[in-house]
A and B are shown apart, each in its own frame.
Chain A
């Protein structure tokens, strides 16, 4: 079985204290659409963080499905904008996101 670099969870960011400076100096955290969070695999501090925020662990495939659904919703919203809407110049169409293993 290939080693995984990342693990994923779903947790709603409640704001202040969700991610502390102490957390982000200990390990990397990346947020994706759908409240999907990516943290290092096999990392004690990351595991503690997931537990602390009541994160629901997701497999790569499950996390990817959530992110893809949210991106497609955002893409549809962008595509529905009138051609002369300034946001067409400002908000580039959301790109597809491929989560790494």
Chain B
């Protein structure tokens, strides 16, 4: 039988505190807690609870990363303008939207966020930019007022696709350059309640509801010019959460015939099923990446936040005697 020394090339460390950056395979004994630990990596994606939002809500938008996220707009018992910022542990209030709305779209980062569309008393084409402190109304407005669309990109290169305008299920695509919106080539399939990931030149649309109110698993990729149909998700759903990029996207939650907690990862070619969310929900917001995703808010105006860590992430384990 091989020894730890033979495998790892070192002895088990005896430390008064856990090492700050342990490497995979490293083992140590913590003299303070009197616990033997070792560093492993996750073999599958996993969800964990994050800090609760201050204002629980559904039909909101999100942007940013797992440790620097932005949640804004949405519906509590009425449509709201509230913005909240997440630091990886807790949410704090940020500057409010100039136009309160819900079923809106968002993208960008915590310090350079973008908000567009949605509805209050009617569908909106208003666009607002966040600088980390406050929202400013952009002179550029969507050419078509829309809600419930997919979104991706950054503040100076945003993308809006699908949704509901004066009619349900549209193919419309619009590109934002930081100043104005330009109409692009439409999706192959008209859709609403779809999710989005990626950038303006490498975007991804997935899920939603298509003509006839049929929940779909359609996936399409945008190359900056046109959309192409690619492999479908395993679970058709709409009003789902999203994160990531075109070649590493994350889909979670949504609505099929009931609220879903299904999670799937896309690698640029195909979708694979991952670990379910803890709380099934729809009309939630998403942020982050495929390996460090964030889902927050959603059905019944929940304030619940969940953090997703993809397979291969560092994980400290405890050795217990049987």
Give A contacts to B, CB under 8 Å. 13-25, 28-31, 33, 74, 86-87, 89-92, 94-95
Does B275 touch A at the CB level, under 8 Å?
yes
B103: A residues at CB distance < 8 A: 86, 90
Does B183 touch A at the CB level, under 8 Å?
no
- Complex: A94 Cα to B280 Cα, angstroms: 12
A33: B residues at CB distance < 8 A: 300
Given A13-B49, A21-B315: A86 touches B42 (CB 8 Å cut-off): no
Task: Verify A90–B239 contact, CB threshold 8 A.
Answer: yes
- Complex: A25 Cα to B275 Cα, angstroms: 9
Closest to B308 in A: A21
Given A22-B315, A31-B278: A87 touches B255 (CB 8 Å cut-off): no
Given A16-B50, A33-B300, A90-B239: A24 touches B278 (CB 8 Å cut-off): yes
Given A15-B305, A24-B46: A31 touches B90 (CB 8 Å cut-off): no
Chain B count of residues within 8 A CB distance of the other chain: 46
**What is the interface of chain A mostly: helix, strand, loop, or mixed?**
loop
Does B47 touch A at the CB level, under 8 Å?
yes
A91: B residues at CB distance < 8 A: 58-59, 282-283, 299
Task: Verify B300–A15 contact, CB threshold 8 A.
Answer: no
B278: A residues at CB distance < 8 A: 19, 24, 29-31
A29: B residues at CB distance < 8 A: 278
Supply 28 A–B pairs (Cβ within 8 Å), ascending by A: A13-B304, A15-B49, A16-B90, A19-B278, A20-B49, A21-B42, A21-B46, A21-B307, A22-B316, A24-B47, A24-B275, A24-B278, A25-B43, A25-B46, A30-B279, A31-B280, A31-B304, A33-B300, A74-B300, A86-B103, A89-B164, A89-B168, A90-B103, A90-B148, A91-B59, A91-B283, A94-B259, A95-B259
Does B52 touch A at the CB level, under 8 Å?
yes
A95: B residues at CB distance < 8 A: 257-259
Q: Mark B294-322, 1 if CB is under 8 A from A, else 0.
A: 00000110001101010001011100000
- Complex: A15 Cα to B56 Cα, angstroms: 13
Closest to B48 in A: A21
Task: Verify A19–B47 contact, CB threshold 8 A.
Answer: yes
Shortest Cβ distance from B41 into chain A, in angstroms?
11
- Complex: A23 Cα to B89 Cα, angstroms: 17
Does B189 touch A at the CB level, under 8 Å?
no
Closest to A28 in B: B276
Task: Verify B49–A25 contact, CB threshold 8 A.
Answer: no
Shortest Cβ distance from A99 into chain B, in angstroms?
13
Does B15 touch A at the CB level, under 8 Å?
no
Task: Verify B48–A20 contact, CB threshold 8 A.
Answer: yes
A24: B residues at CB distance < 8 A: 46-48, 275, 278
Given A13-B304, A15-B52, A15-B305: A25 touches B279 (CB 8 Å cut-off): no
Task: Verify A13–B52 contact, CB threshold 8 A.
Answer: yes
- Complex: A12 Cα to B317 Cα, angstroms: 26
Task: Verify B49–A16 contact, CB threshold 8 A.
Answer: yes
Task: Verify A15–B50 contact, CB threshold 8 A.
Answer: yes
Does B14 touch A at the CB level, under 8 Å?
no
Shortest Cβ distance from A78 into chain B, in angstroms?
10
Q: Mark B255-296, 1 if CB is under 8 A from A, else 0.
A: 101110100000000000001101110110000000000000
- Complex: A24 Cα to B89 Cα, angstroms: 18
Does B75 touch A at the CB level, under 8 Å?
yes
Task: Verify B58–A15 contact, CB threshold 8 A.
Answer: no
Does B218 touch A at the CB level, under 8 Å?
no
Q: Which of A13, A23, A25, A28 contacts B42 (CB 8 A)?
A: A25
Task: Verify A19–B48 contact, CB threshold 8 A.
Answer: yes
A23: B residues at CB distance < 8 A: 48
A17: B residues at CB distance < 8 A: 49
